[in-house]
Amino acid sequence: MARRWTNTLTPEDVTPEAAFWNRRQIIAGMAGMGLASLAGPVRAAEGDLEPNSWDDVTSYCNFYEFGTGKSDPKTYAGRMTTSPWSVKIDGLVDKPGDYDFQQILGEMTIEERIYRFRCVEAWSMVVPWNGFELADLLNMAGVQEGAKYVAFETLYRPEEMPGTAYRVLDWPYREGLRLDEAMHPLTLMATGIFGKPLPNQNGAPLRLVVPWKYGFKSIKSIVRITLTDQEPPTSWNMANAREYGFYSNVNPNVDHPRWSQATERRIGSGMFASREPTLMFNGYEEEVASLYAGMDLTKQF
Ligand code: MTE
């Protein structure tokens, strides 16, 4: 079942000119891929560019459990066993327990969503994800009143993860979202890319994708999801709070202390391609800006 994220954006909406031109390019791009029938009204942010290649997406990765080099995950993640796989859902839920991944898959509606993926190191990719809405999984477990945050943990299995011998991060890798962010329909639990199951280096068998946040929020190979009333600790924030905040929203106006976040380099676009301006909330401003109304995003970054 393939569905693209659509909305009712018209050319007169936010950043009118860019949106207008982007839409024209996307629809042209999709027609070229034989996907025109699925296009419908296409989001400006996701479709202005064609997806990256399978090689870009699976060879240039961050998965520090397998090493800090971009090619380490592809080289070493093959040794991670991903079957059987279960996900513990606990904390403030009606039905806590260990859920088998295949059982979860059977209950969820798998869709295809093309999202721009923006890394804090100022590069980006466009990835066709397959997956289901995190909200569906949380609703299945039954979120209790009082839950305000969702905490995630990655598998920690040192014998299969050579990178965990180094304490670059405090293992297991941890991430978190506020409950309203987690329940937002754009927030995906990805189970595949390009219509195929996730390769290990991309976080098999399931990982988070939050398209308006920097890539490091997209925690891979998830084994635990906990509903809590406290903001959970997150790996990058624990490692360096000055550089990595809890929210991690893509924001061209708030620089990372060591890099400008105003522009990005599209992976695979060639050495001489010009950098592109980064969009507020990675282009999903219309959908998510209201979640942060009244917050000072220079302080809560
Ligand atoms: N999840 C785990 N468990 N370990 C990691 O090191 N790296 C993060 C995120 N999820 C990471 C992780 C970072 S920094 C990025 S940019 C994305 O994964 C990269 O996802 P990709 O390799 O599929 O592009």
Query: Please, which pLDDT band fits residue 151 given cuts at 50, 70 and 90?
Result: very high
264, pLDDT greater than 70: yes
The answer to whether residue 8 scores a pLDDT higher than 70 is no
Lowest mean per-residue pLDDT among 16-25, 182-191, 275-284: 16-25
Question: pLDDT at residue 96 above 80?
Answer: yes
CA-to-CA distance for 102 and 131, rounded, in angstroms? 13
Q: Kindly report the protein residue whose alpha carbon is nearest to atom 12 of ligand 1.
A: 219
Substitution candidate for ligand 1 out of 220, 240, 248, 259 with most atoms within 8 A of CB = 220
pLDDT in tens, 131-150: 999 999 999 999 999 999 99
Yes or no: say if 80 and 176 are a contact pair by the CB < 8 Å rule. no
Q: What atom in ligand 1 is closest to the CA of residue 236? A: 14
Q: Greater confidence, 71 or 50?
A: 71
Q: Ligand 1 centroid vs 221 CA: distance in angstroms?
A: 10
Q: Which residue type occupies 281?
A: F
Q: What is the mean pLDDT of residues 105-113?
A: 96
Predicted pLDDT at 252? 96
CA distance 261 to 252: 5
Closest residue by CA, ligand 1 atom 8 = 216
Query: Token digits for 202?
Result: 């991309």
Whether 86 contacts 229, CB under 8 Å: no
Q: Give the residues surrounding ligand 1 with Cβ less than 6 Å away.
A: 61-65, 119, 154, 173, 202, 215-216, 218-221
Would you say residue 214 has pLDDT above 90?
Answer: yes
Question: What pLDDT is stored for residue 69 in this prediction?
Answer: 97
Q: Among the atoms of ligand 1, which is closest to the Cα of residue 172?
A: 3
Contact 88, 20 (CB under 8 A): no
The answer to whether residue 18 scores a pLDDT higher than 50 is: no
Grade residue 271 by pLDDT with cuts at 50, 70 and 90: confident
Contacts (Cβ under 8 Å, ≥6 apart) of 41:
6, 7, 8, 9
| pLDDT confidence of residue 35 | 35
- Minimal CA–CA distance to 170: which of 222, 239, 241? 239
The preferred substitution site among 61, 218, 240 for testing ligand 1, maximizing ligand atoms within 8 Å of CB, is 218
Is the model's pLDDT at 156 over the cut of 90?
yes
Which atom of ligand 1 is found nearest the CA of 173? 3
* pLDDT of 71 higher than 90: yes
The pLDDT value given to residue 4 = 45
Model confidence band, residue 32 (pLDDT cutoffs 50, 70, 90): very low
119 Cα to the center of ligand 1, angstroms: 9
Q: How far is the CA of 115 from the centre of ligand 1 (A)?
A: 15
Tokens 């999984």 appear where?
137
Q: Write down the domain spans for the chain.
A: 11-292
Residue 37 pLDDT:
32
- Tell me the pLDDT tens digit for each residue of 227-240: 999 999 999 999 99
Please name the amino acid found at residue 45.
A
Averaged pLDDT score across all residues of the chain = 87
Ligand 1 centre and the CA of 65: distance in Å? 10
As a whole number, mean pLDDT of residues 276-301 equals 96
Find the mean pLDDT for residues 263-290: 92
CB 227 within 8 A of CB 93: yes
Least confident of 14-23, 65-74, 92-101, 193-202: 14-23
The pLDDT of 198-208, averaged and rounded, is 98
CATH code, residues 11-292: 3.90.420.10
